[in-house]
Every structure is written in C-alpha cells, then in structure tokens.
C-alpha cells in the first residue's frame, strides 16, 4: 500500500517547497502541497521558475531512512515517477535530462528539485502544463488549457508512483525506464571542466561519462548536451 500523505491545495504560495517542508515538520505526516501559482519558487542551483499560463507547482515532504549513498538516487526516481504520471494524464511521452529535467522533444517542460535535511526529504516538481507563448527553450505538456484538475491529477500520480518505488527499498528501483527515457545517455555532454559521452547511471544516481582519460562519475553540477555541428 502506498504511504498515506496529507494533501494541501493552494491558489498561491511563495514556495510549495517551503510550504510542504514546514507543514511536514509541524505534523510529522508526509505532506503534498499543490499550488496554481508560485511567487518565489526556485529551481536547481537557486534558479527561479518562470510562470506559464497553466502550471503544476507541487512539493512532497516526507521522512526517509535510506543510506546516504542511496538517497542520491531519489532525484532520478522522482523524475521517472513524474514521467509515468505525465504519460498517464497528459498522454505524451517525455524525455529526461540528467538528473531530473523533463523534456518534450528538445524543449524543457519541467524540472525537479530535491532538498534534504535530518532525514527529511522534500521533492518539488514544477511542470508547464499549457503555455500560449512560451519563453525560448520551453514548452507546455498540453496543446490547450487542461483546466485545474490536470495539476492535482498529475501531482497525485507522481507521488503515488514515487512512494510505490520507495517502498521497494533502496535497491529496489529498476533504472531501465529512466535510461530508456534519457536524453543524456548516449549523447555528447560537457560541464565545467570537461566533456565526454554519457554512457550510464551509477548505483548512487551519478552520471557515468566516458572521457579521453577513462570513465568518470559526475555527481552534481550543470551538465549540458553538446550540440553536434
């Protein structure tokens, strides 16, 4: 049975990430916060999130006792869970850019932010549902406005999928679906200080890259897909 959790729906909040964390710390119960608008959201490495016409802003805070070298897989597990929910609700197949950007074609449709402290993990998921005039490099998952119910359906979907995988234990995740969806593995990549070809995912969720000097594991930081000319 999937882990029970409280659901909080808000019209607007500064940050679902902060809201979910605070409510979880007060109640001790896993808490999912879903908002229509977010006024002070943040992405990976402190980036802000630009508001589309219709969006999903959601965060789940919960307790997790996995070993530290397995908790680092949770961003990838969450991305896989979100991709499954998108397939079920929006009926589109998305790609995943390591570690957890959501792509529709070559454009970004969403992203995931995972923060942890003292055994508590907060997973944030932001998705562009519909965007009439998107910014460069972005796209909505729906061709027309899907209405308010799409957000809560997607949020409950990815949370259900995430908990189902987490309950299988720290070594229970089959990463094959993530790899099948990966827009990174098999591609030329570059980062601050190097480049190579992404060839796989490590047991800790790291990106394995083949370089001229041998294979290395990248654990954090920006990794860009290199455009071939």
Predicted confidence at residue 151, as pLDDT, reads 95
Mean pLDDT of 192-209: 92
Chain segment 132-161, per-residue pLDDT in tens: 999 999 999 999 999 999 999 999 999 999
Find the angle CA(137)-CA(142)-CA(146) to the nearest 5 degrees.
Answer: 135
Check: CB of residue 125 under 8 Å from CB of residue 35.
no
Query: What tens digit of pLDDT does each residue of 85-102 get?
Result: 999 999 999 999 998 899
Q: Which domains does the chain have, with CATH numbers?
A: 6-179 (3.30.930.10), 185-225 (2.30.30.100)
**The overall pTM is greater than 0.85:** yes
Task: Note the pLDDT of residue 43.
Answer: 55
Query: Residues 9-64: pLDDT tens digits?
Result: 999 999 999 999 999 999 999 999 999 999 876 555 455 557 899 999 999 999 99
48 contact partners, CB below 8 Å, separation of at least 6: 41, 42
Model confidence pLDDT, tens digit, residues 99-116: 889 999 999 999 999 999
Which long-range contacts does 212-221 make (Cβ < 8 Å, 24+ apart)? 218/191, 219/72, 221/191, 221/192
């Amino acid at each position: 049975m999937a882990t029970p959790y409280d659901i909080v729906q808000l019209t607007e909040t500064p940050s679902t990430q902060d809201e979910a964390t605070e409510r979880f710390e007060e109640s001790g119960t896993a808490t999912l916060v879903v908002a229509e608008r977010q006024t002070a959201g943040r992405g990976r490495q402190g980036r802000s999130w630009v508001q589309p016409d219709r969006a999903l802003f959601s965060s789940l805070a919960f307790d997790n006792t996995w070993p530290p070298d397995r908790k680092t897989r949770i961003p990838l597990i969450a991305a896989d869970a979100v991709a499954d929910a998108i397939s079920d609700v929006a009926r589109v197949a998305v790609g995943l850019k390591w570690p957890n950007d959501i792509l529709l074609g070559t454009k970004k449709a969403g992203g995931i932010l995972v923060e942890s402290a003292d055994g508590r993990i907060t997973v944030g998921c932001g998705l562009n549902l519909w965007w009439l005039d998107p910014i460069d490099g972005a796209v909505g998952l729906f061709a027309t406005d899907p209405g308010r119910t799409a957000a809560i359906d997607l949020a409950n979907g990815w949370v259900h999928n995430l908990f189902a995988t987490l309950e299988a234990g720290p070594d229970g995740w089959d990463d094959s679906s993530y790899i099948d969806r990966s827009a990174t593995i098999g591609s030329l990549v570059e980062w601050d200080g190097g480049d190579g070809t992404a060839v796989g995912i490590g047991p800790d969720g790291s990106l394995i890259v083949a370089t001229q000097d041998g294979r290395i594991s990248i654990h954090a930081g920006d990794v860009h897909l290199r455009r071939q000319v």
